[in-house]
Structure 1
Amino acid sequence: MTVDVSYRPIRPGDDLSLDDSFTTATVFAVHQDPHGFTLHEVPVDPPLTKVFPPDEGDDLPEDGFVAEHDGLKGFVSVEHQTWNRRLVIRQLTVAPTHRGRGIGTRLMELALAEGRRHGARTAWLETSSVNVPAVRAYQRMGFALCGLDTTLYTGTPAEGETALYFAKPL
């Protein structure tokens, strides 16, 4: 079903509460050696469902875009880093009932265009090694794996996962 979705900048007071959970039948296992790392997609049985804890409000987005149609259907929040001319994609979320309809791609296009207008030379984002649906989406959007952090989630509910970083030239 095609739905007319409208897009606009995030406004102060926007309620960006959306279900950002996902289910995946595979995850990326990270193998390290003294000279680097490799990722191997491995099946998980039963499939993994990841539910994120509610945001605590300390990282409220100041810039980005929302997708609406009878309520919020998705959003992208960004941060402009001037010292290295980087656009950081802080969060891209599409409501589960509206995934696979191009909303995330359109939100990302708007964010990247905004980054270019601010002089960004690259876009950068982070996701988890278990979020295979996001990794695949980011790769379809032209992002490439550029690094990882095996310690980012230490002491958090995501302990044991690896942070994967992706970049895209603008």
Structure 2
Amino acid sequence: MKVRTYDSTDREAVIDLDTATPLTTYADVEFHNGSFTWQEMTLAFPTVKRHDLAQYLAEDPPGWDCAYLATHNDRVCGFAAGTLRSWNRRLCLLHMYVDSQMRGQGIGRALLNTLFNAPESADAQHVWLETQVDNVPAIRAYESMGFRIVGLDQTLYGDCPSNDTALYMSRRLR
């Protein structure tokens, strides 16, 4: 596997990533004594989550400062992009996708490590990201890389608690 800088000629290959994530559980998150804890609960209606990479990559200008892709046997198998918020020295992970057939092989970790060590990230003190409470595989993966839950937002995807609930995670960099 190799990680390299993304450029616009990679757009179609990134769009072709299979982002499907079967979801059967969710994180029931609680706040106690200044920190968040969670337990895995069964979803009433299992579903499959997908992301519209074509829409994300069509943003002009792109919302990121740096973006990387991972390849295996010359095939794109992952994509990550982030931006530095200089006022609080926060590296915001905006996009993180690993092809469904390639998960569990360290591709996400390699992409994140490259992003963390990018010149654009040199001033960052911590990394911040958003996922959803029903994306337990992502929550587990990020926790294994040192992230912790720092907040929730029931209105990010629409002003209704029955929509997805955003889950924010963070970790120190330096």
Q: Aligning the two structures, in what range does the TM-score lie when normalised by the shorter sequence?
A: 0.7 to 0.9
Distance 1:37 1:108, change over 3 A: closer
Counterpart among 94, 97, 121 of residue 93 in structure 1: 97
2:167 equivalent in structure 1? 164
Distance across 2 between alignment mates of 1:36 and 1:74? 31
Alignment correspondent of 2:122: 118
Match of 1:19 in 2: 18
Between Structure 1 and Structure 2, the one with more helix by share is 2
Question: How does the TM-score come out when normalised to structure 1?
Answer: 0.83
31 and 55 in structure 1: CA distance in 2 versus 1, 3 angstrom threshold: farther
Compared CA separation, residues 46 and 115, structure 1 to 2 (3 A): farther
Instruction: Tell me the amino acid that sits aligned with residue 172 of structure 2.
Output: P
Structure 2 residue identity aligned to 1:7 = V
Counterparts of 1:1-170 in structure 2, within 5 Å, are 5-15=1-11, 16-17=14-15, 18-30=17-29, 39-44=38-43, 47-56=46-55, 57-58=58-59, 60=62, 61-69=64-72, 70-114=74-118, 117-154=121-158, 160-170=163-173
Shift in Å, 1:30:
4.7
One-letter amino acid matched to 2:69: V
* Cα distance in 2 between the residues matched to 1:115 and 1:135: 27
Q: How far apart are the structure 1 equivalents of 2:53 and 2:79?
A: 16
Number of residue-to-residue matches in the alignment: 164
| Native 8 Å contact 1:10 1:62 kept in 2 | no
Give TM-score scaled by structure 2 length: 0.81
| Alignment partners' CA distance in 2, 1:145 and 1:107 | 21
Moved more, 74-83 or 44-53: 44-53
Mean CA deviation greater in 5-14 or 125-134 = 5-14
Quote the offset at 1:72 in angstroms: 0.7
Whether contact under 8 Å (1:124, 1:166) holds in the other structure is yes
Percent of matched pairs sharing the same residue: 34
Q: Aligned partners of 2:36, 2:113: CA distance in 1, in Å?
A: 30
Gaps in structure 1 of 5+ consecutive residues: none
Residues 36, 142 of structure 1: alpha-carbon distance in 2 compared, 3 angstrom cutoff: closer
Cα distance in structure 2, aligned partners of 1:105 and 1:73: 13
Superposed CA RMSD: 2.8
1:91 positional shift:
1.0
